[in-house]
Chain A
Amino acid sequence: MKAIGIDLGTTNSLVAVVQDGVPTTLADEAGRVLLPSVVAYRDGVAVDVGHEALAAAAANPHDTVMSVKRFMGRTKAEVDAEALATHEVKQDGAVLRILAGGACPTPVEVSAEILRVLRARAVRALGGGVTKAVITVPAYFDDTQRNATRQAGMLAGLDVLRLVNEPTAAALAYGLEKQKEGRFAVYDLGGGTFDISILHLVDGVFEVLATAGDTRLGGDDIDRVVAEAMLGEAGVDVEAADGALRRRAVAAATAVKIALTDAETATYALELADGGVFTRAVDRAELARLMAPVLRRTAGPCKRAMADAGLKPADLDGVVLVGGSTRAPAVQAYVAELFGRPPLGDIDPDRVVALGAAVQADLLSVDSELRLIEGGDVLLLDVIPLSLGLETMGGVVEKVIHRNSQIPASRAQQFTTFQDGQTGMDIHVLQGERELVEDCRSLARFRLTGIPPRPAGAARVAVTFQVDADGILHVKAREEETGVEQSVRVEPSHGLSDAQVEQMLQASLDHAEEDVMARLLRTAQVEAERVLMPLERALSDDADLLSPEETAIIREAMDDLRVATKGTDHRAIQDLTEMLDRVSAGFAQRRMERALAAGLRDVRVDDLESELADAPVGGGAHD
């Protein structure tokens, strides 16, 4: 049974698998490898994922969820302002929900929709039995964000073998393909996150030396600053611009950015709220100037990671670029300046992360192909991205396992009681680099009880942190005199618990058939409406083109279809829609001819054509 690798990206997602010893990305039926990480909701259910959802996003901003990765494992207070500007969210107890198209899915559920599509793609390519997966996450994702990603996998019916850091996955794919050894910096500027990792590849071991990053910095930010600059020039108050206009402005910025990857100049074109169109030529130099502040924010993490790895730029054997945003010449120029060397450009930055995920998935499978290949049997030695610590007196965090420690890792710390006769001790587990509790992320709290009453400082408690190879933290507190102990497997202290996810998963399995039926029915009803409405108008406009008998036949077919749409049988609706389409085809043809023959400008030929185009060709509904 094949294990797959999934790159669950902010902007695009991919799935890859090792086939015949070679990691390969899988394409959809139209041959497209990238799946836009976009989910469209209508009437409370997810109706489209990917290209279709993206195409409809500008027109239906309130029905579409984009860049859901920015919401993963976050509370409303933690989500960045840009993401909030385009989505309406509500904090439902511990759970954040995104409001879209009558639904209020959690980010985990939205991500699961994307993962389901990728899984289905793999099932089609590999012929069933796909349940195991490695999913990539930004290296700088904290525990809560990682847990949310894992839960999305579970919800999509995947057994998540491992979460692998994106830059590490990229290095894995890159190193394996090039069979190169040495020290590499992987500069990963994705849609919504930035990661820098320093790796040492030698003797078939990929050792992560250090990693740093910013989970709120990415190509989306570049698009946003360009969009805001252009809106400003167009005379639009950026703060007051509504969601739809913002989205169009950002989409136009994305288009210009992509165009400038190859061209020296491109045109920024934006349809304004009043229907007018704002256009403006943008050249590479100007784009570089606009994105410079965003790029400068990547310097800090790069320096930190290099310092943690104990390296200077001259010690590196290469800088590898990952993430679609690194295609921009300005990004490449900036990286070259920062590291004092041109980055290596011979890999596809869009695919490399998914390929690396597939490599790790294969290596973790029972029937690994790569293990049997010369040079393919590699081992990944990873680190924890953020320090783990405990709250001590005065709200200060004492770090127990430092960031960039290799995992698995285990460390114990001694604490003593601070009051005479103290019999309990609160253990508060935190993640982050800051000194104060309020600046770090709270991961868990528990209380060790049963400490024998002693003078202050006399009772000793050893708190042991253990991080396993999956990066999951277990904490144990033990009083040394009596041996009384308490332990927890750390779950995020907000968001969904695994039990809740299990419940949702069970519910989704229980209701799977109903859900599919409901979706098919709704789609069929919409299709029927799309045929009925224009036909009704045509019948009143061009009644003279039909004999009374012909009119009666069409009318009857229309009535039958209308009755069927009130019911719940999507098949009947599909069949009757097709029937109506067939009996009215001659009528449509005649109307077209009349319009053309008359040459009348006001008989909107375009409309007629689009009516024809709208009529379903086959069964109509599809899933």
Chain B
Amino acid sequence: MNCWECGAPVAAMFCEGCEAIQPPDPRLDHFARLGVEHRFEQDPDALAAAHRTLQRKVHPDRFASAGDRPRRFSMAQATALNDAIRVLRDPLRRAEYMLHLRGRDVGAEGEGRVQLSPAFLMEIIELREAVDELNGPDAHTERGRMAREVAARFEGMLAELGRRLDAGDDDLDAMAQLAAQLRYLRRVIDELQVDDGPGDWT
């Protein structure tokens, strides 16, 4: 690519020659855009810090009085950074994104759709039934206990998926299956968590 302003070749957010802000490089994936290692295991604070440092340079507020073009590019750069951190900050989304980069779309509809294993579906149906049957004075505590159980299961499976991704596992089908199950479990956890007044922050 060449700088839109001075024509010099550029490989960064800003032209080395004239310091003009450049449009976001479409070839960069989210990891490269934030300048972090291409792996599942990430330090959340370091991710956030990378995002902050880059936003300080390109955010539209820094270009409030610049020309039309730099303003547009700053907006595009800031949007791309926000998209990158949104995906990478959340471990499940990060895992799905890594699968996506390897050609597997967990959320795909139609042909590429990941079929949940019958055993997993059976288990979820039983769990749902158990939740529906909850009533009486202990229902609320019971719900909380189940939510914690499912959450623990979620964390365990997510850690496994992460390990396999970072170990370069080639079994994309198995990893996509794990990711799809994790998606499902997250929904179950959300459903189990009920709004129960002040003081309860779980």
Contacts and interface: CB of A to CB of B under 8 A. Distances in A.
A408 B61 contact: no
Interface residues of B, number: 25
B47 to A, nearest CB: 12
Contacts of A366: 65
A249 B145 CA distance: 49
B52 A406 contact: no
B60 A468 contact: yes
Given A408-B82, A469-B78, A365 B60 contact: no
Interface in A374-428: 379-381, 405-411
Interface in B49-64: 49, 52-53, 55-56, 59-62, 64
A469 B62 contact: no
B75 A379 contact: no
Interface in A327-381: 337-338, 363-366, 379-381
B82 A409 contact: yes
B82 A406 contact: yes
A203 B61 CA distance: 16
B201 A306 contact: yes
A406 B85 contact: yes
Contacts of A380: 61
B56 A204 contact: yes
**Binding site secondary structure of chain A:** mixed
A409 B81 CA distance: 9
Contacts of A466: 79
Given A205-B55, A205-B56, A207-B52, A405 B82 contact: yes
B167 to A, nearest CB: 27
Nearest to B85: A406
A200 B45 CA distance: 12
Interface stretch (B10-18, B129-137, B191-199): B191-199
A123 interface: no
Given A408-B78, A410-B83, A469-B78, A299 B64 contact: no
Contact of B62 (A202, A379, A406): A379
B84 to A, nearest CB: 11
A202 B198 contact: no
A133 to B, nearest CB: 13
Interface in A276-333: 296, 299-300, 302-303, 306-307, 312-313
A408 B62 contact: no
Nearest to A457: B110
A207 B65 CA distance: 22
B128 interface: no
A468 B60 CA distance: 9
Given A379-B55, A381-B55, A363 B197 contact: no
A303 B201 contact: yes
B201 A313 contact: yes
Given A406-B85, A466-B79, A469-B60, A203 B52 contact: yes
B17 to A, nearest CB: 24
A379 B56 contact: yes
B50 to A, nearest CB: 11
Interface residues of A, number: 35
A469 B195 contact: no
A408 B60 contact: yes
A564 interface: no
B86 interface: yes
Contacts of A408: 60, 75, 78-79, 82
Contacts of B197: 299
Given A313-B201, A381-B55, A161 B64 contact: yes
Contacts of B52: 202-203, 205, 207, 381
B75 A406 contact: no
B189 to A, nearest CB: 12
A469 B201 contact: no
Contacts of B59: 379, 381, 469
A300 B78 CA distance: 32
A1 to B, nearest CB: 11
A381 B49 CA distance: 13
A409 B52 CA distance: 15
B60 A300 contact: no
Contact of A364 (B48, B56, B64, B82): B64
Nearest to B80: A410
Contacts of A313: 201
A369 to B, nearest CB: 14
A445 B64 CA distance: 30
Contacts of B55: 205, 379, 381
A381 B48 CA distance: 12
A303 B198 contact: yes
A602 B196 CA distance: 68
Contact of B79 (A207, A364, A409): A409
Nearest to B75: A408
A205 B199 CA distance: 30
Interface in B161-202: 195, 197-201
Contacts of B201: 303, 306-307, 312-313
A364 B49 CA distance: 23
Nearest to A3: B64
Contacts of A300: 195, 198
B199 A409 contact: no
A469 to B, nearest CB: 4
A340 B201 CA distance: 11
B49 A203 contact: yes
Contacts of B85: 406
Given A205-B55, A408-B82, A299 B198 contact: yes
A365 B65 contact: yes
A161 B60 CA distance: 12
A366 B67 CA distance: 12
A380 B79 CA distance: 14
Nearest to B44: A310
14 contacts: A161-B64, A299-B197, A299-B198, A300-B195, A312-B201, A337-B199, A338-B198, A363-B61, A379-B56, A381-B52, A406-B82, A407-B82, A408-B82, A409-B83
Q: Which 6 A-B pairs have the closest CB atoms?
A: A299-B198, A469-B60, A366-B65, A406-B82, A408-B79, A364-B64
Given A364-B61, A379-B62, A468-B75, 11 more contacts: A202-B52, A204-B56, A299-B199, A303-B198, A337-B199, A338-B199, A365-B64, A365-B65, A379-B59, A410-B83, A466-B79
